[in-house]
Chains A and B, each alone.
Chain A
């Protein structure tokens, strides 16, 4: 996660700054490169914020369109990643507000359960030590975690996603959400308490699953 943290990488920041300069002089290839560099993180974040599906595609694209039209206002005081997350976050919050008054969203639980490595449904377990039951349990847990995160208020969900999944620092998150670092910590704590409460029935299974997950990651390295 830490190695994935693009926002803190000096070389990445320099490259981003150079690309932004080129974008400002109407270099379409440079903006294409910006999209290529950041699309995975922005897309992942948007999917976690609003759920996977065509709306997420749309919002992720809109994030970059908005970034393109607002490049003149990007002063470079924050990293490009932070700025993109800020745009994406605002778009997602607006979208969810609109959706509250519109028809309910069909959550793609299948996608949430079997989202790893682009699978669309259950497949053979990768580890021979894992049986179908363990795989099914992990799938159910993933669905529950997804639902619990989805049920969090927007402000709390955004902080959890940025900290746990995107690996941003408190300082970077405070730039994204536009509030002091103390508020970020407070929101993170509230989010953890809410998640623990929502997943209380699964905490034992979660502890087992996460330790197995950590073991697998360790052995893979």
Chain B
């Protein structure tokens, strides 16, 4: 013998029942309950009336020119939203120049390839060119190990000189 569904449980399913979205078994149980329970049957009617009543509230139409008003607000807000551009316009103008200067100082310029003799003849100036000098020597001279050893000595002197200059 199947137990009758309690009213509360049935009433919570009335919207789905009315929409026909309950599984067949559950819908059958609700149907059975409604046939026997006048209170729940009345609730089903009331909920249906409320649904229709809500849909009877006819829609207000948006005022004419709604899209234009939205676009105007977007434009206006775009101007309002960037006051920092106005306030710091001097920074906005000078920042690209400062950036260009900084990049010009930091980015290494290509160095001409040095041979062992030229390296030996001229002192190495800064650390940035050290690696390229070493590679060029290693690739072009069979006496690479000796040259590299020389370079290390020369570099040490150059770096030491730079450190002194910095101090």
Contact = CB atoms under 8 A, between A and B. Distances in A.
User: Is B a genuine binding partner of A?
Assistant: yes
Interface of A: 1, 28, 31-32, 35-36, 39-40, 43-44, 47-48, 52, 56-57, 60-62, 64-65, 68-69, 111-112, 115-118, 138, 141-142, 145-146, 149, 160-161, 163-165, 185-186, 188-189, 192, 195-196, 199, 203, 206-207, 209-210, 213-214
Contacts, number: 118
B74 A189 contact: no
B22 to A, nearest CB: 12
Interface in B48-70: 48-63, 66-67, 69-70
Interface of B: 11-12, 15-16, 43, 45-63, 66-67, 69-71, 73-74, 77
B70 A65 contact: yes
A118 B16 CA distance: 33
Contacts of A160: 54
A115 B57 contact: yes
Interface centre among A32, A138, A192 (most CB of B within 10 A): A192
A165 B54 contact: yes
Nearest to B68: A32
B57 A32 contact: no
A38 to B, nearest CB: 10
A189 B66 contact: no
A213 B51 CA distance: 12
A63 to B, nearest CB: 9
Contacts of A35: 66-67, 70-71
